[in-house]
Structure 1
Amino acid sequence: MGLRERKKQATRRALQEAAVRLTLERGLEHVTVEEIAAEADVSTRTFFNYFATKEEALLSDVPTAPDEEVRRVFVEGGPTGVFVDDLITVLTASVISSEGLAAHRDAMLLRKRLVEREPQLVPGMLARFHNVEQELSRAIAERTGTSPEDERPQLVAATAMAVTRHTVKCLHLREGEGVADVRAVLRDAFRHVGAAYAPSDD
């Protein structure tokens, strides 16, 4: 990553952190875009180069689509060739920050505090997760050679996102815990779902 891109990421992060900090201190209705920009030591114009609204800045760490490169590999049949394992790779890349589990844990805790204080952020958060689900459904359809309109890829994607949300909510995210641990928990969760809906022997 070049210096220019690193600076852009740093500015984006500074704006997001300023938005979160001020919102938790004063409440969303009492924070302006101008104040967020000033807190991050940039101009209001710079703020709008990164975010359309203060709500978008607050939700910027919530994914809107699966990681592009991970998605491509999945559609092409990788990285292992085992559908569930490859799906888990897409899901972990989508919901866990590239900065690692520690950063993800901190972001989750902040997000929880924000939603508790500002419940009007919930629809925007759910919309982002819905976008991830739709993109995941299309990726599954591409990999399996089915139409995106078919019920199966949509149902698999919806189930996968539900399992992921439940798993992430239940994770302890302790020190020393890694992505491999998250994948193992997801794999167990999918196994439980499969067993629950398996045809009865009766």
Structure 2
Amino acid sequence: MSRPGLRERKKQKTRLALIDAALDLFAEQGYDATTVDQIAAAVDVSPRTFFRYFATKEDVALSLDADGHEILLAELAARPAEEPPFTALGRAMNSMITILEQGDTADRSRFLKARELIEATPALFAGGVRMMMQNERLLVAEIARREGMSPDDLLPHFVVSLFTSAIRVGLEACGSGEINDLSDLTRHVERVLELAERSLRPGWDRPAPGDGTASGAGPGSGSGEGTAGDGGAGRTG
């Protein structure tokens, strides 16, 4: 992959500076008390420049989550077609976290700081839930594509809903003081995904043979292709 040009590097530097300034101000004086003007002033840019990067202060606070969702969707699309849906989602999530771990210390610290803020701020928590619901639709569409099903079928919706619920449980630890670095978060999310898979029968996340809809697919209806009991969402792919 070619290195971004100078203009793109400058834009990325400004974007990260705005995120860092916003997170610092939110932590110091509270999310509600912080204004866009203050964030822009902290980076020595105009509010107009801020709005070139973010539509609102909520957007800047949730921007790293939005980046993560984009990575997750791309990683899911790249998973082998033969992987059961829940396994593919879990391994895509692991790949996303690995990408975050491979960033520098500032990247990892920024992500955890943003997650702690979201968990502690009702307005941002609600915004994060809305974002997750929007991204669920994209994940449903990708799971349906992989399985040769319609996005309107029940099974893709159920698989994605279970996955995002498990991730929600994993991310809640960011606001509990249990998470000190990204590796702690990685292990916690992996444990939640493994628990979810151990709770379900093999094949639950695949349509029944000869059935192109979710109506005939349920726990125990698959052909055993799934790996619910083998830790399939674990960090092996």
List gaps (5 residues or longer) in structure 1: none
Taking structure 1 as the reference length, the TM-score comes to: 0.77
Secondary structure class of the residue paired with 1:14: helix
Write 1 or 2 for the structure with the bigger share of helix: 1
The one-character-per-residue Cα deviations of 1:5-61 (angstroms, maximum 9, x if unpaired) are: 222222111101111211222223332212111101222221111001111111111
Aligned pairs (5 A) from 1:31-180 = 31-63=34-66, 65-67=69-71, 68-74=73-79, 77=81, 81-83=82-84, 84-93=86-95, 96=97, 98-100=99-101, 103-104=107-108, 107-113=111-117, 115-116=119-120, 118-169=121-172, 177=183
CA–CA distance in structure 2, aligned partners of residues 56 and 87 of structure 1: 25
4+ residue segments displaced more than 6 Å: none
Closer/same/farther in 2, CA of residues 144 and 188 from structure 1, 3 Å limit? same
CA–CA distance in structure 2, aligned partners of residues 114 and 180 of structure 1: 18
How many residues are aligned here? 192
CA–CA distance in structure 2, aligned partners of residues 63 and 176 of structure 1: 17
Closer/same/farther in 2, CA of residues 13 and 150 from structure 1, 3 Å limit? same
Greater mean alpha carbon deviation, residues 16-25 or residues 166-175: 166-175
> Sequence identity, in percent?
28
The one-character-per-residue Cα deviations of 1:97-117 (angstroms, maximum 9, x if unpaired) are: 83318645653344324542x
Q: Which residue of 2 aligns with 1:188?
A: 194
CA–CA distance in structure 2, aligned partners of residues 82 and 143 of structure 1: 9
Taking structure 2 as the reference length, the TM-score comes to: 0.67
Closer/same/farther in 2, CA of residues 25 and 99 from structure 1, 3 Å limit? same
